[in-house]
Structure 1
Amino acid sequence: MSDKYAVPNKLPAKQVNVMTHRKRRLREEESHHRVKRLNRSFKLRSKKRDYKKPEFFITQYLKAERDSKRMRRVIMKNNFLKGVDDEEPKLLVVMHHRAHRVASKECTLIMNSMGLNRLHNTVLLKNTTESLALLKMIEPYVVYGYPTIQTVRDLIFKHGFLRIKGKRTAINSNKLIEEHLGEHGCICIEDIVHDLFTVSDNFKNVRSLLLPFSLKAPRDGWSKKIGVSYSRGGEYGNRKHEINALIERCL
């Protein structure tokens, strides 16, 4: 038999092209359906739902009732009325470390009055009997202690913002400080650091313009249970001088 009548071993070129186009079309359709499913799931996740499960309200009620009982126990003990010793530092640094949403209205009001309405917000307060009493009320949601001058300086330089004409303005020049605090004797950033750390007569004036510091979660995360007090091996509560190591990890 001659070679021209031999049966070819391969399919014709036209048939190969048809099969290739079919496979490519199937791959494109599969990819299109996969992208469509992902877009649909993303829309469902981002869509704001108008309803809440009954368990949400029950949980919120139980949390609020638990906070109310805890606050009554704190008031009955009166441990915070013993006052502040003269040897203790005059300044406190307080950070809202847990719970985006606080169920108790009383705790929410106290935290909003201190500027701790957002998670990881940090403020500087006078170490007074009144401040300690309020901190005892909201203690499960905050960590606090005695800052060093380096901690105060880092907070001002890295996360310091002033409220000027209702706007959030970064502390980026001494001229800005002199314009708004010059009449109180503050002409530079170091003056603000000094007035805050020493709790001078200008402390109230500086605090009225200074916004809460917006920090981040600790770099290595929380190593212990955030729902347990620091005195019992947890995270929340009074850390005294050890608060500086935590603030450094949050900067």
Structure 2
Amino acid sequence: MSDKYAVPNKLPGKTVSVLAHRKRRILQDKATIEQKKALKTKRVASAKRHHKFRRPESFVMNYLKAERTANRIKRTIQRTNLVATKDADKTNKKLLLVMRHAGKKIFDQTTDKIFNTLHMPNRHNAVFLKNDKETQILLKVIEPFVIYGYPSLSTIRELLFKRGFARVNSKKTPIQSNTLVEEHLGDKGIICLEDIIHEIYTVGPNFDAVKEFLCSFMLTSPREGWKKKVSVPYKRGGEYGDRGDAINELIMRCI
């Protein structure tokens, strides 16, 4: 066998230091971190410079929106004469399902307080309400931001089974068993989810207690999007406002 294929039995000509390699890696990692910090600082500074200039209208836009909303509320009350209506107590006692579809940021304090009172602080919240005089007044004030109508029994059942949550100790808790219902509403004769559905649909004597027990339903934007203009009332070919029985089809697309 030729000697050229023999393995050379020689030590490396250059001494390899493990500590030197480790020091070099540490310095490289430190340099990489410093470079990333410098790039991040540069991006933040560039973003601040980009948004430094603001148009004068942007400073007063919120106040203009709040003023327009307040003027609309005044015109609505004057036009419909809601406060002075004598036959307001003769409104239909049907159940109403109200969904907030717009108004991610509301700058009018009156409208914002109404939404907080109705437990609809966020967009796509939905609640059940009695169709009485007080509800009609509130709905006229916040009408451009909501969609409401008469829910069917199947719609109520779908909402409770798919999007139903209870308010237990001020915390949002999923309704996983009838035991939870019986613990909080058993003294009122409501021991299961079907009893809650019946109480809501019939607007029974314990409707307020059931409504306080349930959290507002968190829905989504309708599948396939909005078919008409959201800024136009339903009676004029738009989306918002009173939809009557047609709200059931919309809610099914939002669940």
Confirm or deny a common fold (TM above 0.5). Answer: yes
Query: 1:83 corresponds to which residue?
Result: 88
Q: Structure 1: 5+ residue runs without aligned partners? A: 1-32
Task: Report how far residue 61 of structure 1 moved.
Answer: 1.5
Query: Equivalent residue of 2:243, what SS?
Result: strand
| AA matched with 2:234 | Y
Residues in 2 aligned to 1:78 and 1:179: alpha-carbon distance in whole angstroms:
44
1:179-230 deviations in whole A, cap 9, x for unaligned? 1111111111000000011100010111111110000000111111111111
Task: Report how far residue 104 of structure 1 moved.
Answer: 0.9
Inter-CA distance 38–120: structure 2 relative to 1 (3 Å threshold): farther
Residues in 2 aligned to 1:38 and 1:53: alpha-carbon distance in whole angstroms:
27
Aligned match for 1:96, one of 90, 97, 100 = 100
Query: Equivalent residue of 1:138, what SS?
Result: helix
Runs (4 or more) in structure 1 with deviation over 4 Å come to: 36-45, 49-54
Q: Is the 8 A contact 2:155 2:252 kept in 1?
A: yes
CA RMSD across the alignment? 2.7
Query: 2:58 corresponds to which residue?
Result: 56
Task: Report how far residue 40 of structure 1 moved.
Answer: 7.6
Residues in 2 aligned to 1:209 and 1:50: alpha-carbon distance in whole angstroms:
47
Residues in 2 aligned to 1:178 and 1:206: alpha-carbon distance in whole angstroms:
12
User: Are 2:235 and 1:231 equivalent residues in the alignment?
Assistant: yes
Task: Report how far residue 58 of structure 1 moved.
Answer: 1.9
| AA matched with 2:154 | Q
Aligned match for 2:152, one of 136, 148, 154 = 148
Inter-CA distance 83–221: structure 2 relative to 1 (3 Å threshold): same
Task: Report how far residue 53 of structure 1 moved.
Answer: 5.9
1:82-140 deviations in whole A, cap 9, x for unaligned? 42656x45200001101210121110011110011101000000000110110000000
| AA matched with 2:104 | H
Residues in 1 aligned to 2:179 and 2:231: alpha-carbon distance in whole angstroms:
44
Task: Report how far residue 57 of structure 1 moved.
Answer: 3.3
Share of identical aligned residues, percent?
Answer: 44
| AA matched with 1:193 | I
Residues in 2 aligned to 1:50 and 1:159: alpha-carbon distance in whole angstroms:
43
Q: How many residues align?
A: 213
Residues in 2 aligned to 1:37 and 1:114: alpha-carbon distance in whole angstroms:
47
Q: Is the 8 A contact 1:151 1:244 kept in 2?
A: yes
Task: Report how far residue 77 of structure 1 moved.
Answer: 2.2
| AA matched with 1:62 | L
Query: 2:173 corresponds to which residue?
Result: 169
Query: 1:115 corresponds to which residue?
Result: 119
Q: Is the 8 A contact 1:84 1:127 kept in 2?
A: no
Query: Equivalent residue of 2:96, what SS?
Result: strand
Residues in 2 aligned to 1:37 and 1:148: alpha-carbon distance in whole angstroms:
57
Residues in 1 aligned to 2:132 and 2:56: alpha-carbon distance in whole angstroms:
42
Q: Structure 2: 5+ residue runs without aligned partners? A: 1-34
